[in-house]
Structure 1
Amino acid sequence: MTENTTTQLIQKVADYLKEVDTESLSDWGEERNDFIQMGGDYLKGVDKVISGDLRIIKDDGSVGTYPAFRVQHNNVAGYYKGGIRFSTGVHQSEVETLSMLMTLKNALHDLPYGGGKGGVHIDVRQHSKRELMEVSKAYVRLLQNDIGPYRDIPAPDVGSGAEVMDWMTEEYKALHPKEPFINTFTGKSIANGGAQGRAESTGIGTFTSYFYLVEAVMNGTLPVNEEHAEKKERIKEIASKEEPISVAIQGFGNLSRAAAMEAERCETPHRVVAVSDSRSTVYSKAGLPVEPLASFKMKHDRLPNEEELKELEIEAEVLDPKEVLTLDCDVLILGAIEDQITAENQADIQATILVEGANGPINQDADAYLESKGKVIIPDVLANAGGVTVSYFEWIQGTTNEVKSKTDILNDMNSRMKDVSHRVYTAYFNSENGETMRFLCYKLAFVRLIDLMKRTGKLM
């Protein structure tokens, strides 16, 4: 996933609206195409980049230096919103790309947010809790004048979590006495103003976006044209067979564990046949018990080896971590990191439905290839918005002091996810120009954003 790929797709959407979909925004008159191009040019740039080196004294007395970034992409739809990554993969170009995706995701899901993203180049496994806390506080000091509850509202991402958000909230509060602070960060611990269900919301939302498609096809509520009739039949075949729907899941962090548990308790029988992390894949054609594997992973920060599987009384094989991608299964949930399916392995993918819980796990070329082979790809911008949706609920909670139950929050999130999924699936399964679902998600988001730009005077 690169910034160049994202900007290319934004331009492709602009060209499509100008040349093919002339009905959208048709009331803009003779200047319509000029406005569309201007809006595309806005979205291909970023509003602001904040960067610097964070320096802390490590436990051994040495100085640790960590490059850090926050990118504010576009705020026409609302305050900047996006996660903070602690990862050795963090660099400015990646953060810029992810901030663009956040703008599009929030627009697609009708959330009152723009897009932002942040990151620190650090290996969290090589640092103590104290060191990570000092890095977290240094990050807030770098951004102290650029974030806030009515400006830019960060959240957790890869390598961070509720504890990091709590540390950052406390530092922001110390730097801004007598000012509102509780909504500066979302994804906090429940005791510190976080929303119930936030930790598992992205995984549950990812599963919801997938399973709503299965339900809509089986219930006959999704109109499908001839171009997509074969895909519809393949989905019906998967859901109506005697055996449970087989699911392989890449990654086994918060997102993937929650998605696996949703699969296991789904009324339509599912069988989780594989889970993986950066070290290994655990596979059983007969199915895996999710809960003991999740407990082991949370305790040891890894999946069990063969001997430990025997101790847990789990009959399964231990495979290479990459093998999870190419196993024989009905559904593949990608819940790890970007660029996992590329030209190198695209021909080996056996799953019929691929769901992007992570950001950008399928690159652009592989996306087009898999689409041509009849695969159904539910893109990140649609599938993984459960987290930011519940972050929005957390922001409302911090503003109103009205605390909702976990059940109510997750029900509200699922309802919103289903509404957006229905809109996307209807557009996709009735499209006639061979466009991917990702492209159509971008198109729906793009139209909302440039309409707002014109209404607010950014396009004149």
Structure 2
Amino acid sequence: MTKNTTTQLIQEVVDYLIETDTNELSTWGENRTEWLKQGGEQLKGIDKVIAGDLRIKKDDGSIGTYQAFRVQHNNACGYYKGGIRFSTGVNQDEVQTLAMLMTLKNSLHDLPYGGGKGGVHIDVRKHSKRELKEVSQAFVKMVQNDIGPYRDIPAPDVGSGPELMDWMTQAYKDLHPNEPFINTFTGKSIKNGGTKGRGESTGIGTFLSYYYLVDAVLNDSLEVNDKHSDKRDMIKAIGEKENVKVAVQGFGNLSRAAAISAQNAERKHTVIAVSDSRSTVYNENGVDAEKLAPFKEENDRLPNADELKEMGLEGDVLDPMDILTLDCDVLILGAIEDQVTEANQADIKADILVEGANGPVTSEADQYLTEQGKVIIPDILANAGGVTVSYLEWIQGFTNDVKEKEDILEDMSQRMKKVSERVYGSYFSSEHDESLRFLCFKLAVVRVIDLMKRSGKII
């Protein structure tokens, strides 16, 4: 999704809330319309953009220059919170869009955070560790007066990770001696105050957002309006299969964890394919994500056909985009944005799509696939495992109460289950034929605007 499509959807939600009597707004009284208009305008805007060029001396003696951004969208729900991505896809529009989605994600999941996002336009594969460290430190210098444990708390994202967060934490500490620093960044290494389970939390949460949907349908715990009975029946049919076929796009931290979660789920799921930017590994009878993971981590790619044989694994090596149109029940999208588009939407065979990445389904494809009877679990619901565990890390930094990995992931899972059950319950009982994405935006927007009016941001 672009900033324009995100703001458009926010406006559509606000218009809907103005025109429709909803339980969420039953106590707002005669000022409801004015509050919604004011709140909607604020949500379509940006609080602050910090932008500049980072310059470092590279290993060959030349000067490297990199565009960098930190966007603070809205802090009605709490301190700004969001990752920093190091990628050649970074630009101001992308970072603004991601910051807006963070506001809505944190709101939907009842986290005490607003939305922020950062990015550096850089190809990490073409830089040494020293150069990346220099870029990380330069980024902190650029934003140092706008971040902090009680202001804006960055985290890892695409192309970054615990090592970069450690470097940034140290840079902030050096620039602000005798000030609190340990909670300025989350997603740090465990030895540097990070939380166990953070690396796989987003992927596990992505899979669970789908699993909780099937659970709710199979347990008949949902009140289902006739408008959604066909989708209920489709989900139930998938849940009752002896073997659910899953394809997972991407094989980074998120997708590896999602694939392994599917492979080890209580109900039988077969991961028939995984992919990265170079290839898709496919086997109708299943690929072993746990065996592929160490190879990917060591080589930064999936194995070719000969290497699969050497590993004792069977499978075909296909083009990377083939993953999207394979015959499967569930497609987990854990790579990058804009993967399912008008160009390939008609070829999507999965009945349930789960957005582990941010914005992998364009708005046009989302509308088309929803009209075709497919269910798309949107990013702001599905991929919140990481920010939820970041919240637990932030709390840990204040209390020094270090939890074990199993306890952290259980806490995250239960929080996501509670939100998922609320969303799915509202979706299936609704008299309106709206998508899950629209519903999630609606619930998130209502909470943000409610907090705006309570804090005096709108009158």
309-318 or 187-196: bigger deviation: 309-318
Partner of residue 41, structure 1: 41
Separation of aligned partners in 2, 1:129 and 1:27:
55
Partner of residue 6, structure 1: 6
Partner of residue 76, structure 2: 76
| TM-score under structure 1 length normalisation | 0.99
Separation of aligned partners in 1, 2:32 and 2:264:
49
Quote the offset at 1:452 in angstroms: 0.5
Quote the offset at 1:23 in angstroms: 4.2
Quote the offset at 1:183 in angstroms: 0.2
Partner of residue 331, structure 1: 330
Pair 1:193-2:193 in alignment: yes
Pair 1:430-2:426 in alignment: no
Partner of residue 179, structure 2: 179
Tell me the matched-pair count.
459
SS of equivalent to 1:52 = strand
SS of equivalent to 1:411 = helix
Q: Percent same amino acid among aligned pairs?
A: 71
Pair 1:241-2:225 in alignment: no
Partner of residue 391, structure 1: 390
Contact 2:147 2:153 in 1 (8 A): yes
SS of equivalent to 1:73 = strand
Contact 1:26 1:32 in 2 (8 A): no
Quote the offset at 1:26 in angstroms: 3.3
1:203-222 matches, cutoff 5 A: 203-222=203-222
Separation of aligned partners in 2, 1:18 and 1:302:
49
Partner of residue 306, structure 1: 305
Separation of aligned partners in 2, 1:213 and 1:32:
32
Show CA shifts across 1:299-339 (max 9, x none).
10000011111111111011110000000000000000000
Show CA shifts across 1:50-102 (max 9, x none).
00000000000000000000000001110000000000000001100000000
Amino acid in structure 1 at the alignment position of 2:454: R
1:150-189 matches, cutoff 5 A: 150-189=150-189
Separation of aligned partners in 1, 2:276 and 2:450:
42
Pair 1:140-2:160 in alignment: no
SS of equivalent to 1:27 = coil
Pair 1:368-2:367 in alignment: yes
Separation of aligned partners in 2, 1:231 and 1:27:
32
Contact 2:222 2:429 in 1 (8 A): no
Amino acid in structure 1 at the alignment position of 2:373: G
Partner of residue 86, structure 1: 86
| TM-score under structure 2 length normalisation | 0.99
Partner of residue 98, structure 1: 98
Separation of aligned partners in 2, 1:224 and 1:29:
29
Contact 1:17 1:24 in 2 (8 A): no
SS of equivalent to 1:100 = helix
SS of equivalent to 1:221 = coil
Quote the offset at 1:340 in angstroms: 0.4
Q: Which runs of 5+ in 1 are unaligned?
A: none
1:343-358 matches, cutoff 5 A: 343-358=342-357
Contact 1:197 1:409 in 2 (8 A): yes
Contact 2:274 2:282 in 1 (8 A): yes
Quote the offset at 1:279 in angstroms: 0.3
Show CA shifts across 1:216-259 (max 9, x none).
111111221111111111111112123x1110000000000001
Quote the offset at 1:428 in angstroms: 1.1
Separation of aligned partners in 2, 1:282 and 1:125:
22
Pair 1:321-2:311 in alignment: no
Q: CA RMSD in A?
A: 0.8
Amino acid in structure 2 at the alignment position of 1:162: P
SS of equivalent to 1:95 = helix
Amino acid in structure 1 at the alignment position of 2:232: K
Q: Which runs of 5+ in 2 are unaligned?
A: none
Separation of aligned partners in 1, 2:316 and 2:232:
33
SS of equivalent to 1:117 = strand
Amino acid in structure 2 at the alignment position of 1:168: M
Contact 2:227 2:431 in 1 (8 A): yes
Separation of aligned partners in 2, 1:137 and 1:187:
16
Show CA shifts across 1:177-235 (max 9, x none).
00000000000000000001000000010111110111111111122111111111111
Contact 1:99 1:117 in 2 (8 A): yes
Separation of aligned partners in 2, 1:12 and 1:265:
40
Partner of residue 202, structure 1: 202
Partner of residue 285, structure 1: 284
Separation of aligned partners in 1, 2:288 and 2:9:
40
Contact 2:227 2:432 in 1 (8 A): no
SS of equivalent to 1:24 = helix
Separation of aligned partners in 1, 2:21 and 2:377:
22
1:104-123 matches, cutoff 5 A: 104-123=104-123
Separation of aligned partners in 1, 2:245 and 2:24:
39
